[in-house]
Amino acid sequence: MTQRTAPRLARWLWNRYCQDGEKLTLVHDLDEYFSEISIEKNRISASFWYWKQVLGSVLSFSKRHAFFGVTMFNNYLKITLRNIVRNKGYSFINISGLAVGMACCLLILIWINHEVSYDRFHEHSDSIYRLAYVSTQSDQQGWGTPYPLGPALKDSVPEVEEVTRLNRVSRRLVSYDEKRFFESDILSADPSILKMFSFVFIKGDSENALTKHSSVVVTETVAAKYFGTEDPLGKMLKFDNRSPFTVTGVVSDIPDNSSLRFDFLVSLEYLRSIGSPTHWGAFSYDTYLLIKPNADIQDVDKKIEIVEKPLPHKFVLHPFNTMRLYGINESGAIRSISLFSFLAFLVLFVACVNYINLTTARSTNRAKEIGLRKVMGAHRKDIIRQFFGESIVFALIALCFAFVLVILFLPTISRIAGSTVSFNLAQHQFILIEIAGILLLTGIIAGCYPAIFLSSFRPVKIFKGILYSGKGNSFLRKGLVVGQFILSIALIIVTLLINGQLRYVSHRNPGFKKENLIYIRMRGEGNLWQKYNTFKQELEQQQDIVNVTASTCLPVGGMINEWGQMDWKDRDPESTFGMNHMAVDPDFLEAFKIELIDGRFFSENLLADRQNFVLNEAAVKATKLQSPVGERFRLLERIGQIIGVVKDFHFDSLHNEIEPLVLQMMPCSYWAYQHFIFARINSSELRKTLASVEKVWSRQVPEFPFEFHFMDSSMEALYSSEQRLRTILRYFTIISLFISCLGLFGLVSFSVERRTKEVGIRKVLGASVGSLVHLASKEYIGLVVVSNVIAWPLAYYFMNKWLQNFAYRIHLSIWVFFLSGLAALAIALLTVSFQSIKAATANPVTSLRYE
């Protein structure tokens, strides 16, 4: 009797391998022998024997399978490669399309990897959190936190291990001996920053580098810039020619994927010593917390909430290592990442569509092969496998070209992304898996439908010559072409509209004359400001300088807004609202060419004007004063009269409405003010004029280097994210249109090739070239028209939404849509007619002799 005491796992394995009919008897055979041996010897040696048998047998079974598989694989590969070589044109269309699509995906992937890797290099990056405030009255959120908050949390929340507050120091002149540069990457932080974050020290030690108030840590590049080959440690750097700092440490350059960057790192004491506010009301510091590794974050959040503080705001933790991605309210990189990866995926899809269309359209050419394979005993799954393999081979070849494209376009992506994105295999361990993923994805998307379609052919019908007429198939093909063109047309519309909006933005009259206006940034510190009057006088003597003026704010990108610190007659005491305010010099109106609509502007000679105000129209509207001129007005501690009203002008980006603005006269003491000197210059001799300004500057303030900006280019810079969007969309539009047209070209050339005889006969019977071209291209042109109909509402929807971001925007004119559609149509027509004209003008003698 058979005793079933054979090792269970081995028997199960053996069973799996002996599924079909006759092999099933082997299971019992082995059982029988097993029991014999276990009776003869013992169970252990029998089990041992059994295992040996099973493993050995499995090996020899699979050897046979593998051998068979390899043979077939070789055959498939050979057929695929032959087909690629034989149909060079179609292969080129497929491979180039796929290569471009894959290159897009790869570039985006590299970029995503870069973004995801942000801030992860710090040893404790998982346990670092950043505090953000949430206003309890409104939905407002932000990173700013008050100075005393950090230490308060460290004292009362036990999970908080370490706290670092930091703040940027505005531009400083840094000097060492003769070397002087303006530096803006100065960070001021608690000494604990060096414990929390892993900046690599080359010189000096992280323990004591920031303990002294006058110590500074610099990066490698900065050290080389100032000290060259000298040892930087112990050297003295001066900020604004006054405060001396001793270099106590040099860190290696901060990696590109760090959101915490600095060139100079000084102690927080420095900011305090120059009067940065340290009370609870000033939300000007970033607070980072190091939380104990296994603490529950929600728990910590709750504890932070109950810490006593004289503020109505809530403070919440945001994980540091995903800060770059999500920001506050998903405002981080994740939005553009998801948009661009979506677009890259669409482009890849468009390329796959080409493959699907060309393969199914040309299925008749492969029909005999498929029929023969089936007759010789191929199962449907074998055919499916073959065609999947084929699409993967295509994808693989395309991938090689994609790599070349990636290397060519990586600098472009770096420029668009705004940081150095590198293609470094060592840095991203997963990139190979991801590339393999893209390869498989492409192969599967492209190969899926052709594989199923081609494998469904019936051999009998094929050899009888009754091929699938392919009604459903050609419907799908048309649908896919329509899909391709929807994307292309929508992208054209979107790009044109964004372009239009950006042009509108830069051409819109801001209410003042922005051309030929330069400005020099000065700071309240130092004695620069005291020299303003002499500087101004000297400048005005230069012949090419028309006006010189000054203000306390740059009328670009918003101003200082004061909440509720103002009063006027009949003010509704309940209402709290803010007004922007800045102090200007009496020549401001003249220099900026701003229109005055009521009253008068400040005058140099009237002492009383130092207490008076000028409002803009929006402010008048906000105050609800009927005749504002002559009314009393209070701003902060100044009380005076409203003496004039100016026409509204833009001092913020066009995203926002023009807000109420109060102008007062310089000088003015307000801690947050900076100073700007503006000069309107003659454009004819720009270089000479600028040189003369510099000469005056260096005579007046020799201790500071001369640096200036153009007003109009600073205003352009407000729209950098839109400009970036425009650049990327432009690329995507061109790529998607290119690939779609390639596909169309392929389809048309195939259908023309198939109808060679028909065209020949028609021609013999007297058809004109025009009617033949019409015959060959009408179908596809119809498709493009249909795509237009679908693309327009889509583009309209998205652009309407996008334009809502701007308070001042262009109208969505039908012409843009119409033109985009027309352009797509023209390009498609060009593509199609290239082939159809060739066919129509061919000599009918040759075409009838064809085949």
Amino acid identity of 31? D
The region that residue 26 occupies, defined by phi over 0 for left and psi between -120 and 50 for alpha, beta otherwise, is alpha
- Closer of 63 and 508 to another protein (Cβ): 63
Identify any residues that bridge with 318 across adjacent strands, giving them in sequence order: 130
CA distance 68 to 50: 27
Q: What is the DSSP letter of 660?
A: P
- Closer of 65 and 88 to another protein (Cβ): 65
Choose which of 13, 26, 37, 152 interacts with another protein (CB under 8 A): 26
350 φ/ψ angles, rounded to the nearest 5 degrees: -60, -40
- Closer of 14 and 601 to another protein (Cβ): 14
170 φ/ψ angles, rounded to the nearest 5 degrees: -65, 175
Record the tokens describing residue 475, joined without a space. 């419907």
- Closer of 25 and 221 to another protein (Cβ): 25
- Closer of 18 and 622 to another protein (Cβ): 18
Amino acid identity of 270? Y
**Residue 466 burial (C-beta neighbours within 10 Å; 0-12, 13-18, 19+):** exposed
Identify any residues that bridge with 245 across adjacent strands, giving them in sequence order: 237
Choose which of 28, 179, 335, 838 interacts with another protein (CB under 8 A): 28
Q: What is the DSSP letter of 555?
A: S
Q: Which of residues 809-848 bind another protein (CB under 8 A)?
A: none
CA distance 620 to 580: 13
User: N- to C-terminal Cα distance for the chain?
Assistant: 73
User: Could you tell me how far CA 499 lies from the centroid of its own chain?
Assistant: 18
Nearest approach, Cβ of 8 to another protein (angstroms)? 18
Nearest approach, Cβ of 354 to another protein (angstroms)? 45
Q: Which of residues 2-21 bind another protein (CB under 8 A)?
A: 2, 17
Nearest approach, Cβ of 32 to another protein (angstroms)? 6
- Closer of 25 and 136 to another protein (Cβ): 25
Q: Which of residues 608-637 bind another protein (CB under 8 A)?
A: none
CB 693 within 8 A of CB 545: yes
Record the tokens describing residue 24, joined without a space. 């099933």
Nearest approach, Cβ of 57 to another protein (angstroms)? 2
Contacts of 299 (CB under 8 A, 6+ apart): 159
Nearest approach, Cβ of 28 to another protein (angstroms)? 5
Binding map of another protein across residues 59-88, x = CB under 8 A, - = no contact: xxx--x------------------------
Contacts of 590 (CB under 8 A, 6+ apart): 547, 549
41 touching another protein, by CB under 8 A: no
177 touching another protein, by CB under 8 A: no
- Closer of 18 and 556 to another protein (Cβ): 18
Nearest approach, Cβ of 64 to another protein (angstroms)? 6
- Closer of 23 and 238 to another protein (Cβ): 23
- Closer of 55 and 764 to another protein (Cβ): 55
Choose which of 5, 7, 13, 33 interacts with another protein (CB under 8 A): 33
Beta strands in 48-114 (DSSP E): none
Nearest approach, Cβ of 72 to another protein (angstroms)? 18
CB 130 within 8 A of CB 140: no
Size of the site for another protein (CB under 8 A): 22
By three-state DSSP, how is residue 163 classified? strand
Give the strand pairing for 596-599 and 613-616.
unpaired
- Closer of 27 and 233 to another protein (Cβ): 27
Q: What is the DSSP letter of 575?
A: -
- Closer of 13 and 81 to another protein (Cβ): 13
**Piece of the chain touching another protein by CB under 8 A; list 30-38, 235-243, 735-743, 825-833:** 30-38
Nearest approach, Cβ of 54 to another protein (angstroms)? 8
Amino acid identity of 8? R
22 touching another protein, by CB under 8 A: yes
- Closer of 2 and 541 to another protein (Cβ): 2
Contacts of 756 (CB under 8 A, 6+ apart): 839, 842, 847, 850, 851
Nearest approach, Cβ of 23 to another protein (angstroms)? 7
Binding map of another protein across residues 44-63, x = CB under 8 A, - = no contact: --------xxx-xxxxxx--
Alpha-carbon distances, residue 19 vs 3, 54, 96, 273, 434 (angstroms)? 21, 14, 46, 84, 37
- Closer of 30 and 217 to another protein (Cβ): 30
- Closer of 2 and 771 to another protein (Cβ): 2
CA distance 790 to 24: 60
- Closer of 22 and 574 to another protein (Cβ): 22
Nearest approach, Cβ of 113 to another protein (angstroms)? 47
Binding map of another protein across residues 694-723, x = CB under 8 A, - = no contact: ------------------------------
40 touching another protein, by CB under 8 A: no
Contacts of 656 (CB under 8 A, 6+ apart): 558, 807
Nearest approach, Cβ of 850 to another protein (angstroms)? 47
Contacts of 196 (CB under 8 A, 6+ apart): 122, 124, 128, 162, 164, 288, 290
Contacts of 43 (CB under 8 A, 6+ apart): 5
Choose which of 32, 123, 205, 207 interacts with another protein (CB under 8 A): 32
CA distance 447 to 450: 6
Number of Cβ within a 10 Å radius of residue 830: 11
30 touching another protein, by CB under 8 A: yes
Choose which of 5, 23, 43, 674 interacts with another protein (CB under 8 A): 23
Q: Among 441, 341, 399, 450, which residue's Cα sits nearest to residue 100?
A: 399
Choose which of 12, 29, 375, 379 interacts with another protein (CB under 8 A): 29
Amino acid identity of 789? V
State the residues that interact with another protein by CB under 8 A.
Answer: 1-2, 17, 22-23, 25-26, 28-30, 32-33, 52-54, 56-61, 64
